[in-house]
Amino acid sequence: MKNVINPSHTKELLKQFDFRMTKRLGQNFLIDQGILDEIIEGAELTKDDYVLEIGPGMGSMTQKLCETAGKVVAVEIDKNLLPVLKVTLSEYDNITVINGDILKLNIKDTLQEHFGDRKAKVVANLPYYITTPIIMKLLEEKLNLQSITIMVQKEVGDRIKAAPGGKEYGALSVAVQYYAKPSQVLFVPPHSFIPQPEVDSIVLKLDILSKPAVEVEDEGMFFRVVKASFGQRRKTLLNALTAGNFGISKEQMKEVLNSVGIDEGRRGETLSLQEFANIANKLYK
């Protein structure tokens, strides 16, 4: 019973373990061999790579990861899947399955324990109900990561990779692009999963930058400026920032914007990361 992706094997396993999928845990299992191969290819793995997988499910992608990478650590919250994974991953000796919640796990210690100082790659078909918290945790904790290749809901993926000016560009685009360079690997239709999700999906690769995309004096100030600028989308930048509790008057905020050459009448969604950084650095001073 080796290949999970084979639909008849998947059904046999589900029956054998009397396993019922839990919608609440975002359990939509990938059943398309071609898509799986493209994800693995997109993640650019070799036997030198150490991989962290989030949510292995029944192990379809995990099997491929074990075959392609040097070592794999997979974190799965649902303990009912552990006996299934024991069977589907029995032939591999380079896998460790951890039963736990990725949002509560000390990822830094886990990576250190299993991978030492080697940079890891994250590969995951994410549970959609916690996509953003997982991505932000991976990025903000400044882990020893080289890249993050993830399946996400298309609408969220479009926001992550959006450029300034469009309606998809927002605080999430800026936050991710501060730490990483996103690119789309492939589009994935709902019929590639059981059960089928109600949304389209895309696979994104986030290449972690060796240093943040822009230089900021204080990260807290940078993210406060970003949050305030997008907080009230219908307001001009000047009004949105003035409402952001930076402890300065509207006149002073106008001077700040003037001094960095940004028109006060612009909207937050037109600003580049560099422009947000320029405002934040000025305010910090």
Which residues of the shown chain bind ligand SAM in the complex (CB under 6 A)? 25-30, 54-57, 60-61, 75-78, 101-103, 125, 127, 130
DSSP 38: H
- Residue 150 CB, nearest approach to ligand SAM (Å): 10
φ/ψ (deg, to 5) at 181: -110, 110
- Residue 210 CB, nearest approach to ligand SAM (Å): 28
- Residue 25 CB, nearest approach to ligand SAM (Å): 4
3-state helix, strand, coil in the chain (%, to 5): 45, 20, 35
Those residues with Cβ within 8 angstroms of residue 5's Cβ, 6 or more apart along the chain or in another chain: 30, 31, 32, 33, 36, 60, 63
CB 241 within 8 A of CB 253: yes
φ/ψ (deg, to 5) at 145: -115, 145
- Considering beta carbons, is residue 57 or 170 the nearer one to ligand SAM? 57
- Residue 197 CB, nearest approach to ligand SAM (Å): 8
- Residue 47 CB, nearest approach to ligand SAM (Å): 21
- Residue 4 CB, nearest approach to ligand SAM (Å): 8
- Considering beta carbons, is residue 27 or 278 the nearer one to ligand SAM? 27
φ/ψ (deg, to 5) at 25: -95, 15
- DSSP bridge pairs for 188: 201
DSSP 25: G
Token digits for 280?
């934040």
Nearest partner of 192 among 3, 9, 37, judged by Cα: 37
- Considering beta carbons, is residue 110 or 125 the nearer one to ligand SAM? 125
- Considering beta carbons, is residue 26 or 244 the nearer one to ligand SAM? 26
- Residue 72 CB, nearest approach to ligand SAM (Å): 12
- Considering beta carbons, is residue 13 or 283 the nearer one to ligand SAM? 13
Q: Which helix (H) or strand (E) holds 240?
A: helix 237-242
- Considering beta carbons, is residue 25 or 213 the nearer one to ligand SAM? 25
- Residue 265 CB, nearest approach to ligand SAM (Å): 43
Q: Which residue is nearest to ligand SAM (CB)?
A: 55
Residue-by-residue DSSP string for 181-200 = EEEEEEEE-GGGEESPPSS-
Q: How many C-beta atoms lie closer than 10 Å to residue 272's C-beta?
A: 16
User: What is the C-alpha to C-alpha distance for residues 151 and 187, in angstroms, rounded to an integer?
Assistant: 9
CB 200 within 8 A of CB 192: no
